């Protein structure tokens, strides 16, 4: 436990926030710095076939120690942290044997991690948990996953009595900005299937995620001096606002859960002359997803009927629900469930209300469901990770490797 914890604390010291505005891969230099240090560590613990490419994709192999022909299984995590909150100079603190009360993250700014606001805290009463100093995110998303994978490989190397096949591990940049799978070489990774160690609370096992698209609606206005604007001005800001309220009020993130999809307005930039709305569109069901995109087209036509040639729409699909690619190989889900049960973890199969590198990779020929890494409250200063959850995630990886050898 102590070795895994120290590894995680070392990893979060690297500033690896991604940035979608740089148009580079990796999008920030800190990710490559972290990748190079990881590369050295993988060499030191004894892995082989270690490669780090110019885009920050790090891969390595734990060779098989079984005489039986076995499928190659992969484990994947991402190097970057979210741009939503600072990841610079992360200063984690360990709360030993959490007592169930409020945790003061930052007394000066009165930042408290409170169970009445975050009731999941109470799931971990009596456990050691790692918290932030109230100024940055923690980085358990996904440095907990990275630490768990590396620790599992080290454990298997130290315990040759546990028979296993060839295992591939991969660490990707820029997952948080939706680009983690963009330049991932599935052929070079060379695994029959894989698991991303990027889920939340202990027990989570996910093979369903949103179908996702981005939408950008540009409203072209006509600016005229407001004193003489009658029947002349077209205020792009007001037209954009009109468009926004035409979408169903209750189909937004703050009013949905589980399998419910949504429309999410994420940006609004503009003037009277020109305004641009940015949306993301999400739904687990493919047919409903397609209908949501059609609704955008319908509303643009409606706006243009009232204000000719005012609105233009650009929609881009981002990723699709991996379920259709996982269902034909459900044995990999059964295997993960059995591994969890064997190490004392109750599997909790839930749909991802978001995306994962595994969804993209599944559609590129690498079935890749998602397993918990243990962190909670990702992307902000209230993020924390219970230490026993990280240990159990490592144990699940080890047990999957053992089960593959046993069952094949």
236-264 pLDDT, tens digit per residue, is 999 999 999 999 999 999 999 999 999 99
pLDDT for 377-408, tens place per residue? Answer: 998 999 999 999 999 999 999 999 999 999 87
Q: What is the mean pLDDT of the chain?
A: 96
DSSP state of 374: -
Helices (H), 204-275: 236-246
The verdict on 332 and 307 lying in the same domain is no
pLDDT reading at 120 higher than 90: yes
CATH of the domain at 186: 3.40.630.10
Our measurement of the distance from residue 227's CA atom to the centroid of its chain's CA atoms, rounded to an integer in Å, reads 51
* Last residue within a domain, chosen from 296, 319, 342: 319
Same domain for 227 and 122? no
Give the tens place of pLDDT for each residue, 302-321.
Answer: 999 999 999 999 999 988 99
Q: Which of 15, 80, 174, 206 is catalytic?
A: 80
Residues 198 and 217 in one domain: no
Peptide bond into 142 cis (omega under 30): yes
Q: How far apart are CA 139 and CA 149, in angstroms?
A: 15
Residues 229 and 81 in one domain: no
Residues 49 and 129 in one domain: yes
Give the separation between CA 284 and CA 210, rounded to whole angstroms. 4
CATH (domain of 314): 3.30.70.360
Mean pLDDT of 366-375: 96
State pLDDT tens for residues 147-201. 999 999 999 999 999 999 999 999 999 999 888 999 999 999 999 999 999 989 9
Domain end (from 280, 304, 319): 319
Q: Which residues pair with 214 in a beta bridge?
A: 280, 316
> What integer pLDDT is reported at residue 238 of this predicted model?
97
Q: Which pLDDT score is estimated for 276?
A: 98
Same domain (yes/no): 95, 111: yes
Does residue 80 carry a catalytic annotation?
A: yes
The range of the structural domain enclosing residue 312 comes to 211-319
**Do 161 and 286 have their domain in common?**
no
- Residue 261 has a pLDDT of 97
What's the whole-model pTM score?
Answer: 0.89
Where among 274, 296, 319 does a domain terminate? 319
pLDDT score at 199: 84
Q: What is the pLDDT of residues 73-107, one digit of tens each?
A: 999 999 999 998 999 999 999 999 999 999 999 99
Share of the chain above pLDDT 70, in %: 100
Residues 141 and 223 in one domain: no
Q: Are residues 43 and 153 in the same domain?
A: yes
Q: Say whether 202 sits in a helix, a strand or coil.
A: coil
pLDDT tier at 32, thresholds 50, 70, 90: very high
Q: Provide mean pLDDT across the span 266-294.
A: 97
Same domain, 133 and 259: no
CB 42, CB 50: distance < 8 Å:
yes
Span 323-359, pLDDT tens digits: 999 999 999 999 999 999 999 999 999 898 887 889 9
Q: What is the pLDDT of residues 52-63, one digit of tens each?
A: 999 999 999 999
Distances (CA, A) of 68 to 57, 61, 65, 71, 166: 30, 17, 9, 10, 11
Report yes or no: 90 and 184 within 8 Å, Cβ to Cβ. Answer: no
Q: Do 91 and 112 reside in the same domain of the chain?
A: yes
Residue of higher predicted confidence among 407 and 121: 121
- Helices 236-246 and 286-306: crossing angle, nearest 10°? 140
Q: Per the residue annotation, which of 174, 175, 206, 399 is the catalytic one?
A: 175
* pLDDT for residue 357: 87
**Res 356: pLDDT:** 83
Q: How many domains does the chain have?
A: 2
């Amino acid at each position: 436990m102590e070795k895994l914890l120290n590894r995680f604390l070392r990893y979060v010291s690297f500033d690896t926030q991604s940035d979608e505005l740089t148009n580079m891969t990796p999008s920030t230099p800190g990710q490559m710095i972290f990748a190079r240090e990881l590369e050295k560590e993988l060499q030191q613990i004894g892995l082989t076939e270690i490669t780090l490419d110019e885009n920050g994709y790090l891969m390595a192999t734990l060779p098989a120690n079984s005489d039986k022909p076995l499928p190659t299984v992969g484990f994947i995590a991402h190097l970057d942290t979210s741009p939503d909150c600072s990841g610079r100079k992360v200063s984690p603190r360990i709360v030993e044997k959490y007592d169930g009360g409020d945790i003061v993250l930052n007394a000066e700014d009165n930042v408290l991690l409170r169970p009445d606001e975050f009731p999941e805290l109470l799931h971990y009463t009596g456990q050691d948990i790692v918290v932030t100093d109230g100024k940055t995110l923690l980085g358990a998303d996904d440095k907990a996953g990275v630490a768990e994978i590396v620790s599992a490989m080290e454990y298997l190397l130290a315990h040759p009595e546990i028979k296993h096949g060839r295992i591939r591990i991969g660490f990707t940049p820029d997952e948080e900005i939706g680009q983690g799978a963009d330049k991932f070489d599935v052929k070079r990774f060379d695994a029959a299937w894989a698991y991303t160690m990027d889920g939340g609370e202990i027990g989570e096992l996910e093979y369903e995620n949103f179908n996702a698209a981005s939408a950008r609606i540009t409203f072209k206005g006509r600016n005229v001096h407001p004193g003489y604007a009658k029947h002349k001005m077209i205020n792009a800001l007001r037209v954009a606002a009109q468009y926004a309220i035409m979408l169903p009020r209750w189909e937004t993130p703050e009013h949905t859960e589980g399998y419910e999809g949504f429309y999410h307005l994420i940006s609004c930039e503009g003037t009277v002359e020109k305004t641009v709305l940015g949306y993301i569109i999400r739904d687990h069901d493919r047919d409903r997803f397609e209908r949501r995109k059609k609704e955008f087209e319908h509303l643009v036509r409606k706006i243009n009927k009232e204000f000719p040639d005012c609105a233009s729409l650009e929609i881009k699909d981002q990723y699709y629900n991996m379920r259709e690619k996982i269902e034909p190989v459900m044995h990999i889900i059964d295997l993960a469930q059995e591994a969890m049960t064997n190490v004392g973890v109750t599997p909790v199969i839930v749909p991802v209300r978001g995306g994962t590198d595994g969804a993209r990779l599944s559609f590129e020929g690498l079935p890749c469901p998602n397993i918990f890494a243990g962190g909670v409250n990702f992307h902000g200063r209230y993020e924390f990770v219970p230490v026993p959850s990280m240990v159990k995630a490592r144990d699940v990886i080890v047990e999957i490797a053992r089960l593959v050898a046993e069952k094949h």
